[in-house]
Structure 1
Amino acid sequence: MTKPTEGAPPLRAWTPHADLDGVLHRWLVGLHALLGDNLVGAYLHGSLAVGDFDQASDVDFLVVLRDDIPATDIGPVHELHRELCRLPGPWAQNLEGSYAPAFALRRLTTEPRDPPGEPRPDGLREPGMWRPGPYAYPFWFVSEDEAPVRREYDNCQMVRWVLREKGVRLTGPPAAELVDPVSGEDLRREAAQVLLGNLERLTPELSWFRSAYGQASGVLICARALGTLETGEVRSKRSAVAFARARLEPRWADLVAAAFAERARSAAGPEADRRPDPRAVAETLAFGRWAAERAAQVR
């Protein structure tokens, strides 16, 4: 049986940003008051764990629950996040992640597939997901102040690996006590799924290509997945650039390096929503197809 947390922790330097730590502490106090003994732990993953976190990054979190929250009782979680989004500064708006029951987090499994009383129709596919669904248990997913929705987005091997190996513990036991080991082969298999799943939707109308920032992010997603295919580990954006320079042909290495620079430029400037260069879109499409061919060889 998982052991619940014993009380909200004091304010600590969990991240390189004191104002973000303040938001996280307000959130943790709210979680303890709201969830009580149902709260097992709260953790950060994503770029705050693997590196390259900046003000354009999402603050990716995962809250572990003793028991799942039924749809009839999820409203207070929404209200907590709405209150946080009223705080000054950008950090609360970047807070994004999942509330996962401990039994469904420990390892990736297809059973149970659906929450009790919340069956999903066969053939359902979530926006942005690389695998057909429904596949695995959906966690409650929260982004900004939007209402929580059931999503499989964080029910994946990459999130589990980052949580266990590099995650930032905010409250609760070490993540290694809650998540079984994830092998390099597990990660390679999932990286191949990501690349092949992207291939199915790679068209000039893909949402990535609505902005230069999105186009650059799409390139980095592919580069990081390629790095995982080779190393069996989850790579940061910066390490994906180093991997591309060392292992990919110059055409793709230059595209990845340019994407890293574009992401930083777009995020820091007032032109974050400007349209991408059509040549960059064409190169991104070609890179995605080439990466998918690599993935098909190792799946």
Structure 2
Amino acid sequence: MREVAPPFIPEVRAMLDALLPGVQAALGPGLVGLYLRGSLALGDFDPVTSDIDFLAVTERPVTGEQFAALAKLHERLATLPNPYAHHLEGSYIDRAALRRFGPDERRHPSMGPDWSFDWGDHGADWVLERWIVRERGVTLLGPDPKTLIEPITPSELRTAVREQLRWWAALPDRPNWLRRRSYQAFAVETMCRAHLTLRTGELPSKPQAVAWALGALPEEWRPLIERSRLWREDETPDPDTLPEVMRFVRWAAETAS
């Protein structure tokens, strides 16, 4: 196993030590590789708020038998006495679909802290996730991810970000899933990162994007961005702050260039 990007804490290693052999057993020779993405790859892992984000690459699309084995694996992993047992987020994507992600190949097995293992849609955000795996991903098993994923250009990153922003802007004024402050922080951070990616053509970590936004975005949004730093660990429902968050979301979408 390749060394994981810092910070690397024992609980994360223990979870990976359970995940990797479980995926190998479920997929057998159909497993091409297993990679870390998200904050563990970008170097901004927060032991309190971050998830363990992974990508499993398969030789061919997951079969019904493999899907059933993976479902049992994730049920078992969720019972482990580990703080990250309910903070795994991963997808299983076959080699051909991963190489150049297309609009007709967007349903793949996935799971996360807020949804059970199932077939799930993979939208424009997976252009960004592919970039992270290719350029910064941590290899747990398998070949260099650059051999599996075609280069993603700055133009492609910007196009994917604009599509993401259109999705966010189309949300209702008070989406129920954004009532918690932690999720509102996620929305604010995502907007900051979107604007920095549009300017640079690269994908920074969210803390890097927030730090940049505090000095670069209009003054009127800075108090909200500052508060988002405090909300990352706060699960309190706060519908009163949601309208301001959604105004920021729509501003971010309207001013994207």
* TM-score in terms of structure 2 length: 0.91
Q: 1:194 aligns with which of 161, 164, 178?
A: 164
Equivalent residues of 1:237, 1:260 under 8 A apart: no
Equivalent residues of 2:32, 2:58 under 8 A apart: yes
Q: 2:221 aligns with which of 240, 252, 259?
A: 252
- Whether 1:185 and 2:178 are equivalent positions in the alignment is no
Q: 1:285 aligns with which of 229, 246, 256?
A: 246
Alignment of 1:227-242 (within 5 A): 227-242=196-211
Equivalent residue number for residue 37 of structure 2 = 45
Aligned-pair identity in percent equals 33
Equivalent residues of 2:31, 2:59 under 8 A apart: yes
Alignment of 1:84-163 (within 5 A): 84-110=77-103, 113=104, 136-144=105-113, 146-153=116-123, 156-163=126-133
Equivalent residues of 1:241, 1:253 under 8 A apart: no
TM-superposed CA distance for 1:14, in Å, is: 5.9
CA-based RMSD = 2.0
CA distance in 1, matches of 2:20, 2:45: 21
What do the CA deviations read for 1:111-143 (whole angstroms, capped 9, x no partner)?
Answer: xx2xxxxxxxxxxxxxxxxxxxxxx33111122
**Of 199-208 and 170-179, the range deviating more from structure 2:** 199-208
- Whether 1:222 and 2:191 are equivalent positions in the alignment is yes
Runs of 4+ in 1 over 4 A off after TM superposition: 11-15
Equivalent residues of 1:98, 1:154 under 8 A apart: no
| Structure 2 unmatched runs, 5+ | none
Equivalent residue number for residue 4 of structure 1 = none
What do the CA deviations read for 1:90-125 (whole angstroms, capped 9, x no partner)?
Answer: 212111110000000001223xx2xxxxxxxxxxxx
Equivalent residues of 1:41, 1:173 under 8 A apart: yes
CA distance in 2, matches of 1:196, 1:31: 35
Aligned residues: 254
Q: Which one has a bigger Cα radius of gyration?
A: 1
Amino acid at match of 2:112: S
TM-superposed CA distance for 1:48, in Å, is: 1.1
Equivalent residues of 1:141, 1:150 under 8 A apart: yes
Equivalent residues of 2:124, 2:161 under 8 A apart: no
Q: 1:76 aligns with which of 69, 73, 95?
A: 69
CA distance in 1, matches of 2:64, 2:123: 18
TM-superposed CA distance for 1:292, in Å, is: 0.9
Equivalent residue number for residue 55 of structure 2 = 62
- Call closer, same or farther: CA 1:222–1:155 in 2, change over 3 Å: closer
Q: 1:211 aligns with which of 180, 184, 190?
A: 180
- Whether 1:166 and 2:158 are equivalent positions in the alignment is no
CA distance in 2, matches of 1:232, 1:13: 25
What secondary structure does 1:109 align onto? coil
